Structure 1
Amino acid sequence: MFCGVHWSSGSERNLIPANLVAAAFRSYATDYKWVITAAAGENVTSRNASYEKVPIGTEVEGMNILGLILFAMTFGIALRKLGRDGELLIQFFSNFNDATMILVSWIMWYAPIGILFLVASRIVEMEDVVLLVTGLGKYVLASILGHFIHGGIILPLIFLLLTRRNPYKFLLGIVTPLTTAFGTCSSSATLPSMIKCVEENNGIDKRISRFVLPIGATVNMDGAALFQSIAAVFIANLNGITLDAGQIFTIIVTATASSVGAAGIPAGAVLTIAIILEAIGLPTNDLSLILAVDWIVDRSCTVVNVEGDALGAGILHYTCLSELEPVKAELTGVKVEAVANPNSEEETSPLVTYAKQLSTPRNTIDPEPKESIL
């Protein structure tokens, strides 16, 4: 006789899927069940029976996000190894991603109406509306507090330990892009202002700022990873699900990996929360509650993202300061001298042709000069 107890995520088995097509629809999970056992050679009776907890692996409905992300990262590295031969396929995936983002931008125009009805349906289903509102308030408070600790203490502390310089003085020079990030909720919109401020106010080398900051605006999403993890835990608690160590590890890995691919636009990181919810088997219909309060959380999230980009550029600048060659002064003027091009076509004017023939030395065998028609 078997009696199911609970499900485990089976994160380790999901990292390397056996079938990529099946990974888009199914994932591996471990089901722990109690089985009645007895000593060898004895019949199972109520007296000699004993219960043993046995793990049984099985497949459950839901996308294997971990396996797909790991395959995508490995496949991307392999494409870069191909060099020019892999650029065509990389361009295809890049264009596919751009087209998808355009579709998402169209959907976002109708998002307020859809969110209104999704939240309304969720409120009707709840027996205690006060509990839902209180839970959302705690989620917003936890997200903002986490961003404040990470952006106001942890990141400046890392900057201080690696550069031995005052991090808050550095942050004072980028107040304008931080304010822009808070108002626009977009890392990409803040990029031009950030590049200007770190170069003019903080003296960061142009070769570092113009290399690190564009990459950071796309890849470095530590604020997004933080609030995605909090959102996943909030939805789990809302549904009365207790997360085990394997599921927490899955949230950390998936949030870190999915935040790298998040778009630097308003509400860009919310869409990737569905990936985390699918990875740990949580319902995705509660995502509407996150969208309802995302306009608050996304502001502090974007500020932490752009702050991490700027501090990363500052750390790289000060740690490599002795190795940086001085930037050559830009040319203020260019002196151009006219030089005859030997590969240019011959002049067709009869006057020029006649003059060239006269300048030819007489000791060479040339055809007789032709008179000009003029």
Structure 2
Amino acid sequence: MFFRMLKMLILPLMATSIVTGLANLNGKSAGKIGLITIGYYIFTTMVATLVGIIVAISIKPGHVINHAVITVKSVDNTPSQSAKDVFLDLVRNIIPDNIVQATFVMSGTKYVKLDKQTVTQHEHINGRNSSNNTDATEDETWTPTSVYKPGMNALGILSYFMIFGVILGRLGDKGKIVLQFFLTLNDITIRMVLLVMWYSPVGIMFLIIGKVLSVEDLISTAQQLAIYLTTIIAGTTVHVLILLPLLYFAVTRRNPFTVIRGMTQAIVTALAIASSSATLPITIQCCEDNLKMNNAITRFVLPLGATINMDGTAIFYVVSAFYIAQMHAISLHFFEVILLSLCTVLTSVGVAAIPNAAIVTLMVILSSVGLPVESISILLAVDWFLGRVRTVVNIIGDCLTAAMLDHFFPQADVDVNVEMGPEMSLCSSADDHPTTELV
């Protein structure tokens, strides 16, 4: 129930936060913040990829169980996505052909047999005899096809409302009524988040207990994959407690752990639900209420980060690929490592911010460097735990980015002086709704 309530608030919160955040920025600040935010997110993802490579090569988790007997579940013979397919899906999702449809489906690539119609015609003419000959050309009959998959297209919604918010902010007096609507809707959504937070202790407790009880043999699973878990935890710890804080301190000369301490509630929620998007309401609340960040910054940077900033996922991709390669005694050459890094950055940006989405996208990473895709089944037993680690790393990176931009773009650089008459006021008192009143 707790997870479903948070998911219910993702779409209205993302839309209103992006629109109000960008509409309240002047054109000069919006352009700078947008470029800096996207560039910084891509840079930290590349750093996370490098950290994953270093810890995987140093610890070598796959060598520890190289001679152990591991049961690998077989998968079907449908080809997995390639790096080209992932890139094309990313472009399709950024530019959706129907914004309403993007709220519940997203573009994806599915492999189907090329001669499906031909086989059907032969079966109609000759009965079922021709079906026996399809296996001979099975490797040559698969072709990628763009289809719609269930799930909210966060990238498409984000791109639409980013453009919407920028244009709305430049309309001036013409956009006052629309801006007032989104500010009020955002205020209503935040109040709904506060109501959900009263239920969070009970919801988080049952979510964690349920996941622990779903593992059949927790002790043997942990023993089998202990080094693998240790490697990922080491990489994420170095990235989120050393590298990102050092980068934040070097840029702002402020204590980064003050930011981390102020988002304790968001971290606990992320450990429970393992979703950056579902944690977004609590993340925004922590940044604005506890850390007193500029809401025009947080409502743009945090939804964007929940969609494209996946540092923890990047570390998981790299370590998992090296783990499977070492387990099968496969050496990755220099160019394969470069290809692995590029695919990691690309898929980290395009992966959906939902639980267990990374384990599915990992198939693309493995197939891009020629590693056995069926070995993913080994990781399923501990992915419920790693998903929570990835989410914590992602949201901490989002908040540190928002804090850094809040340092360089103070309240004076935000264009919130939209002149409105008394009849256009959003609230009767500035003390009641300080974040939504238009001056």
TM over 0.5: yes
Distance 1:69 1:91, change over 3 A: farther
Which residue identity does 1:137 align to in structure 2? A
Q: Percent identity?
A: 33
Aligned residue in 1 for 2:382: 293
Cα RMSD between the aligned structures? 3.5
Q: Deviations over 1:330-367 (max 9, x none)?
A: 9997389xxxxxxxxxxxxxxxxxxxxxxxxxxxxxxx
Which residue identity does 2:149 align to in structure 1? T
Q: Give 1:196-345 correspondences, 5 Å limit.
A: 196-321=285-410, 324-325=413-414, 327-328=416-417, 334=423
Aligned residue in 2 for 1:100: 149
Structure whose residues are more often helix by fraction: 2
Residue 256 of structure 2 corresponds to residue 167 of structure 1: yes
Which residue identity does 2:386 align to in structure 1? V
Instruction: Judge conservation of contact 1:236–1:243 (CA < 8 Å) in 2.
Output: yes
Give the distance between the partners of 1:330 and 1:308, measured in 2 at CA: 36
Q: Deviations over 1:139-186 (max 9, x none)?
A: 110001111110101111111111111101111111110111112211
Shift in Å, 1:70: 4.1
Q: Deviations over 1:274-318 (max 9, x none)?
A: 000111111111111111111222221110000111111111111
Distance 1:214 1:63, change over 3 A: same
Give the distance between the partners of 1:173 and 1:332, measured in 2 at CA: 37
Instruction: Judge conservation of contact 2:294–2:411 (CA < 8 Å) in 1.
Output: no
Instruction: Judge conservation of contact 2:89–2:107 (CA < 8 Å) in 1.
Output: no
Instruction: Judge conservation of contact 2:366–2:372 (CA < 8 Å) in 1.
Output: yes
Q: Deviations over 1:7-32 (max 9, x none)?
A: xxxxxxxxxxxxxxxxxxxxxxxxxx
Which residue identity does 1:68 align to in structure 2? D
Give the distance between the partners of 1:246 and 1:211, measured in 2 at CA: 37
Which residue identity does 1:171 align to in structure 2? I
Q: Deviations over 1:75-122 (max 9, x none)?
A: 559x86xxxxxx63677677344962359xxxxxxxx9xx999x9xxx
More displaced stretch, 204-213 vs 88-97: 88-97
Q: Give 1:1-374 correspondences, 5 Å limit.
A: 65-72=82-89, 75=91, 88=97, 95-97=105-107, 100-101=149-150, 136-321=225-410, 324-325=413-414, 327-328=416-417, 334=423
Q: Secondary structure in 2 aligned to 1:271?
A: helix
Distance 1:71 1:190, change over 3 A: closer
Which residue identity does 2:403 align to in structure 1? G
Aligned residues: 246
Give the distance between the partners of 1:335 and 1:268, measured in 2 at CA: 44
Q: Which has the larger radius of gyration?
A: 1
Aligned residue in 2 for 1:350: none
Structure 1 stretches lacking a partner, 5+ long: 1-60, 81-86, 104-111, 120-129, 337-374
Give the distance between the partners of 2:419 and 2:383, measured in 1 at CA: 45
Shift in Å, 1:325: 3.3
Q: Secondary structure in 1 aligned to 2:331?
A: coil
Distance 1:263 1:190, change over 3 A: same
Aligned residue in 1 for 2:37: none
TM-score norm. by structure 1 comes to: 0.58
Aligned residue in 2 for 1:122: none
Instruction: Judge conservation of contact 1:212–1:313 (CA < 8 Å) in 2.
Output: yes
TM-score norm. by structure 2 comes to: 0.50
Distance 1:335 1:302, change over 3 A: closer
Which residue identity does 1:65 align to in structure 2? S
Structure whose residues are more often strand by fraction: 1
Distance 1:154 1:335, change over 3 A: closer
Aligned residue in 2 for 1:362: none
Which residue identity does 1:210 align to in structure 2? R
Give the distance between the partners of 1:92 and 1:102, measured in 2 at CA: 10
Distance 1:331 1:151, change over 3 A: farther
Shift in Å, 1:267: 1.2
Which residue identity does 1:277 align to in structure 2? L
Which residue identity does 2:274 align to in structure 1? C
Instruction: Judge conservation of contact 2:81–2:364 (CA < 8 Å) in 1.
Output: no
Instruction: Judge conservation of contact 2:366–2:373 (CA < 8 Å) in 1.
Output: yes
Give the distance between the partners of 1:335 and 1:267, measured in 2 at CA: 45
Instruction: Judge conservation of contact 2:271–2:389 (CA < 8 Å) in 1.
Output: yes
Give the distance between the partners of 1:174 and 1:133, measured in 2 at CA: 29
Instruction: Judge conservation of contact 1:62–1:278 (CA < 8 Å) in 2.
Output: no
Which residue identity does 1:88 align to in structure 2? D
